[in-house]
Amino acid sequence: MKKNYLQHINNPDDLKNLNVDQLKDLAQELREFIIDVVSVKKGHLGSSLGVIELTIALHYVFDTPRDLLVWDVGHQAYPHKILTGRRELFHTNRQLNGISGFPSRKESKYDAFGVGHASTSISAALGMAIASRLSGDDNKQHIAVIGDASIAGGMAFEGLNHAGVAKSNILIVLNDNEMGIDPNVGALKQYLTSVKSDQKMQKNIFEALNFSYNGPIDGHDLPTLIKTLKDLKQQKGPKFLHVITKKGKGLKQAEQNQVTYHAPGKFDKQTGDLLEFEDLSEPPKFQDVFGKTLVELAKKNEKIIGITAAMPTGTSIKYMLEEIPDRAFDVGIAEQHAVTMAAGLATEGYIPFCAIYSTFLQRAYDQIIHDIALQNLPVIFCLDRAGLVGDDGPTHHGVFDMAFLRLIPNMVISAPMNEIELRNIMFTAQEQLSHPIAIRYPRGKGFYKDWQKPFSIIEIGKGRMIRDGKDMAVLSIGTIGETVCTVLDDLKSNSIAHFDMRFVKPLDKKLLNYISGKFAKILIIEEGVLQGGFGSAILEYYQEQGLTQLKIKRLGIPDEFIEQGSVSELLALLGLDFKGIKKEIKDFLND
């Protein structure tokens, strides 16, 4: 008779009523539960399947939430969420008004730190540990669970460097599965492999940093995990536990194809077979347009270099890595390094295309200003996932880039309206650019199946009129302009003109002067923050020209963090979908 322990686990205290053999049964139930839900609702699968035994052991041994448990990135936090009172809500994971796909302090007292970007856990846990020491609470435990991809990030090493001398009670658990989203890269990966193969190494890097090193141990062996954690709980000071896990553990397909099953979409929970496939008759994803265009350009221009930070599949740099591996680089979770490495390449006459998600480029802001823009180096930043990204939520929405980049001197910012314009601005950038440029484009599919057209130069800083009108002008930037086109086609009005501005910086001042001279009403639409964004740039320009009589309205992202939901749901909530834009245009025209 099948036992059912999971339905009785409402918090970690309930775990402590089970013996080790019962915990093993619970682990299998938990694994099946996650597979059942994610197969239908989608989400991050492989990472969570790999840490089920580790999660159970941590909550079994430690006194959470008094003991503070920090998960790095958070892709692997599903078992944690289910065991800490969110089992009945788990089906709402990553959905509008549902629970977050990542740990969130506002969601649960068991989520000690909100995460979504990598390599933060050690610093956060150390801060908590120092706070406990200063408060005289020396018995509180502070645990950071970090993957072998995340621990290679520079911030993680900064945390390790300090934690080793901080004299605080911290345990770092290295979840070593040899995978990030894509396979891990770099010398540290090679080092960890050597540690696993030669456990008698006289001195390892973590001991050299003053940590008490333990392991490697099997991360799926519950008795060993529990015994080891109990022993470590009694030790003071900085401790390090090296745990070996299998990403996708318990689902054959997820174990064998770990990249795809990191977040596989819907799948058959019995066989593991995917149920969603890319429709090749549809327009391609923007990332694939970028990746294939980059290869096309690189084959003609031997100076082109491709760079990504742990996202070769997500950015489609994988195509260049496959076809021209000597000139394509995955540097791991190291956005700062990626940017400054690109700067170094540019000083020697190479043309680096640095493909980084918009939200992750935030991590290299100083390098953009100091190493790129200050020296006016022509690095080409390709910002994937610009705009709203959907169910990953506020840690991943790429809505800040236009605002935080446009204030940097020497920076050119382009937002192509479709994949054909994306190809052409990439072609233009590698042909004649003398400044750094950021090219932003969204997650998901483009608009045209016939996108591989001959290249043409786009004049830097020049917008274009898509349709003329007599009463009102709509100014759009980026792919939201395609929605504007659809709305205006539906309205069939000769009163409304539409301009695809193409560039946030430099602004097309000649075109803006034409617009202000002809139209008293101007509606500006962007899929980025209103505070300091594209519309702000236009308002500043018109104010400088003394054109205060213009009636201007802006649509965009308000001054708040946008939660998770499908892109279509979020656009509708913000009034940036077809229906919302149509209403705003009609209301503004008739106002």
> Residue 164 has what pLDDT?
93
* Helix, strand counts (H, E) of the chain: 24, 17
Task: Check whether 513 has a pLDDT greater than 90.
Answer: yes
- Confidence band for 523, pLDDT divided at 50, 70 and 90: very high
Q: Per this entry, what is the length of the chain?
A: 591
- Confidence band for 2, pLDDT divided at 50, 70 and 90: low
Same domain, 19 and 130: yes
- Confidence band for 8, pLDDT divided at 50, 70 and 90: very high
User: Phi-psi region for residue 419, left (φ > 0), alpha (ψ -120 to 50) or beta?
Assistant: alpha
Same domain, 256 and 336: no
Same domain, 211 and 323: no
- List the domain range (segments joined by +) for residue 159: 13-262
Q: 371-375 — which CB contacts under 8 Å span 24+ positions?
A: 371/339, 371/340, 371/343, 372/339, 372/342, 372/343, 372/346, 372/436, 373/408, 373/409, 373/410, 373/411, 373/436, 374/410, 375/343, 375/347
Same domain, 526 and 396: no
Angle, CA 500 vertex, CA 495 and CA 506 arms, to 5°: 130
Structural domain includes residue 446: no
> Residue 547 has what pLDDT?
92
Q: Is 33 helix (H, G, I), strand (E, B) or coil?
A: helix
Distance CA(273)–CA(530), nearest Å, equals 43
Residue 112 makes CB contacts below 8 A (sequence gap 6+) with: 65, 68, 69, 70, 103, 105, 124, 128
* Residue with token string 């790095």: 72
Distance CA(451)–CA(96), nearest Å, equals 33
Distance CA(59)–CA(14), nearest Å, equals 10
Active-site residue, selected from the candidate residues 31, 42, 189, 247: 247
Same domain, 370 and 232: no
pLDDT tens, residue by residue, 404-419:
999 999 999 999 999 9
Q: Which residue, 229, 262, 295, sits at the end of a domain?
A: 262
Structural domain includes residue 277: no
- Confidence band for 246, pLDDT divided at 50, 70 and 90: very high
> Residue 281 has what pLDDT?
80
> Residue 318 has what pLDDT?
97
Active-site residue, selected from the candidate residues 327, 363, 406, 440: 363
Structural domain includes residue 121: yes
Task: Check whether 583 has a pLDDT greater than 60.
Answer: yes
Read off the CATH number of the domain in which 371 is found.
3.40.50.970
Same domain, 50 and 145: yes
> Residue 389 has what pLDDT?
96
> Residue 432 has what pLDDT?
74
DSSP string, 308-324: ESS-HHHHSTHHHHHH-
Considering Cα of 256, then 262, then 266, then 269, what sign does the dihedral take? positive
Q: Is 306 helix (H, G, I), strand (E, B) or coil?
A: strand
Residue 459 makes CB contacts below 8 A (sequence gap 6+) with: none
Instruction: List, in sequence order, every residue forming a beta bridge with 330; answer none if it has no partner.
Output: 308
Structural domain includes residue 40: yes
> Residue 528 has what pLDDT?
98
Report whether 477 contacts 498 (CB < 8 A). Answer: no
Longest dimension (CA), the chain: 80
8: nearest Cα among 83, 59, 81, 65: 83
Q: Residue 75 annotated as binding?
A: yes
| CA distance readout (Å), 157 to 150, 184, 300 | 10, 16, 39
Residue 114 makes CB contacts below 8 A (sequence gap 6+) with: 102, 103, 104, 105, 106, 395
Same domain, 562 and 422: no
Q: What is the rounded average pLDDT for all residues in the chain?
A: 94
- Confidence band for 6, pLDDT divided at 50, 70 and 90: very high
Active-site residue, selected from the candidate residues 178, 335, 526, 584: 335
Q: Residue 118 annotated as binding?
A: yes
Q: Residue 177 annotated as binding?
A: yes
Phi, psi of 585 (to 5 degrees): -65, -45
Tokens of 414: 């382009």
Report whether 579 contacts 572 (CB < 8 A). Answer: yes
Residue 208 makes CB contacts below 8 A (sequence gap 6+) with: none
> Residue 85 has what pLDDT?
95
Same domain, 486 and 431: no
Same domain, 544 and 490: yes
Structural domain includes residue 134: yes
User: Phi-psi region for residue 160, left (φ > 0), alpha (ψ -120 to 50) or beta?
Assistant: alpha
Tokens of 359: 């939200």
What is the arithmetic mean of pLDDT over 220-237? 96
Task: Check whether 238 has a pLDDT greater than 60.
Answer: yes
335 is catalytic: yes
Task: Check whether 3 has a pLDDT greater than 80.
Answer: no
Tell me, what DSSP letter sits at residue 6? G
Q: Residue 397 annotated as binding?
A: no
192: nearest Cα among 204, 180, 182: 204
- What total of structural domains would you count in the chain? 3
Which H/E stretch holds residue 275?
none
What is the arithmetic mean of pLDDT over 462-484? 97
> Residue 200 has what pLDDT?
58
- Confidence band for 271, pLDDT divided at 50, 70 and 90: confident
Crossing angle, helix 480-491 and helix 578-590, to 10 degrees? 60
Distance CA(294)–CA(288), nearest Å, equals 10
Structural domain includes residue 448: no
Q: Residue 250 annotated as binding?
A: no
Phi, psi of 228 (to 5 degrees): -65, -45
Burial class (CB in 10 A: 0-12, 13-18, 19+), 453: exposed
Distance CA(330)–CA(480), nearest Å, equals 31
Same domain, 85 and 178: yes
Read off the CATH number of the domain in which 576 is found.
3.40.50.920
- Confidence band for 254, pLDDT divided at 50, 70 and 90: confident
What is the arithmetic mean of pLDDT over 216-224? 95
Structural domain includes residue 339: yes
Structural domain includes residue 459: no
Same domain, 433 and 485: no
Q: Residue 156 annotated as binding?
A: no
pLDDT tens, residue by residue, 345-354:
999 999 999 9
Burial class (CB in 10 A: 0-12, 13-18, 19+), 199: exposed
Tokens of 567: 């892109």
pLDDT tens, residue by residue, 107-155:
999 999 999 999 999 999 999 999 999 999 888 999 999 999 899 999 9
Same domain, 247 and 339: no
Percent of the chain with pLDDT over 70: 98
Burial class (CB in 10 A: 0-12, 13-18, 19+), 482: middle
Q: Which amino acid is at 133?
A: R
Instruction: List, in sequence order, every residue forming a beta bridge with 271; answer none if it has no partner.
Output: none
Q: What's the pTM?
A: 0.93
Task: Check whether 202 has a pLDDT greater than 70.
Answer: no
Tokens of 136: 């005289």
Angle, CA 186 vertex, CA 185 and CA 190 arms, to 5°: 95
- Confidence band for 201, pLDDT divided at 50, 70 and 90: low
pLDDT tens, residue by residue, 358-413:
999 999 999 999 999 999 999 999 999 999 999 999 999 999 999 999 999 999 99
pLDDT tens, residue by residue, 542-563:
999 999 899 999 999 999 999 9
Task: Check whether 180 has a pLDDT greater than 90.
Answer: no
> Residue 270 has what pLDDT?
84
Report whether 547 contacts 516 (CB < 8 A). Answer: yes
Alpha helices in 379-506 (DSSP H): 401-406, 419-432, 480-491
